[in-house]
Structure formats: C-alpha cells, structure tokens
Amino acid sequence: MLQIDTLAEWIAAAACVGGAGLGLYGLIDPVWAANLVRLRGDDQRPGGFAEFRATYGGLFFGAHSFALAVLLISPSATSAGACAALGFGWGLTAFGRLVSMILDKTDTGFNRFSVLFEAGFGAALVSPYVLAHF
C-alpha cells in the first residue's frame, strides 16, 4: 500500500522523482549529461560516454528510484534513512563545489546556481529524517 503522510515525505518524494528523472535522461542521452556537468568525452578513449551513462545515468536513476520506492512502500525510519543518505550526498556535492569555488577560483553563475540546487535537493531529501528524529 502506498502512503506518504507528511509534507517532508512529499518533498523528499519529489526530490527522488527529480533525481531519478535526471538519471534516466542521462542514461538515455549521455551527451546531455556531459554538457550538464560541463565535461566531455575523450575521442581518443571511446568508453567515456559509458561513464556518463553509468554515473550520471544509472547511479542517479537507481539510487533515487530505490529511495522513492522505499519511501512509497514503507514510510519509516528506514525510508527516511535512505532519503537522508542521498541528501547527505547532495549536500556534500554542494560543499565540494563551494570548496572548488574558493580554492580553484571557479565562482561562476553556473556554480552558484548549482550550489543552491544541490543544497536544496539535499535538504529536501534529508527533511523526513530530520523531522522524524529531532
């Protein structure tokens, strides 16, 4: 039986759908994923697009889909924990980007937006765990 009871769970579910959507699109179109993260494949090493499909596609799609499934099937400390693990990853992604902005002098509009996006995704995913435990 599907049940989501709290606003935090709805927000986390929406973030899971968004993350899974990014992953599915990256799996289908690795050129889009490469452009999104501002990287490109190496023509000398043709396996590079497999990395975009695997990491920005499969990993994102799989992890977010799993967290969504657990959240929809059994809203509990377990599902909140699954979402929180993803949220912590998104939060550390934002932190890593901030470190790069400072140390590598990459303070661009793209990176500023990305920090806000990643931190927001992280907060959305962590919210059911935080509300259940604090």
d(CA 23, CA 53): 8
Mean of the per-residue pLDDT values of the chain: 90
The string of DSSP letters for 54-72 reads IIIIIIHHHHHHHHHHHHH
**Chain centroid offset of residue 34 CA:** 16
Yes or no: say if 59 and 23 are a contact pair by the CB < 8 Å rule: yes
Number of CB atoms found within 10 A of residue 40's CB: 12
Position 2 scores a pLDDT of: 61
When pLDDT is averaged across residues 86-110 and rounded to a whole number, the result is: 96
Q: How confident is the model at residue 39 (pLDDT cuts 50, 70, 90)?
A: confident
Distances (CA, A) of 56 to 73, 127, 131: 25, 24, 29
Mean pLDDT of 65-91: 87
Q: Is the separation of the CB atoms in 94 and 122 below 8 Å?
A: yes
pLDDT number for residue 44: 81
* Of 115 and 50, more confident: 115
Is the pLDDT at 42 greater than 80? The verdict is no
Task: Determine the average pLDDT of the residues in 3-12.
Answer: 85
Q: Is the pLDDT of residue 76 over 90?
A: no
Q: How far apart are CA 7 and CA 46, in angstroms?
A: 45
Which pTM was predicted?
A: 0.86
Residue ranges per structural domain of the chain: 7-133
Mean pLDDT for the stretch of residues 93-103: 97
pLDDT-derived band at 1 (thresholds 50, 70, 90) equals low
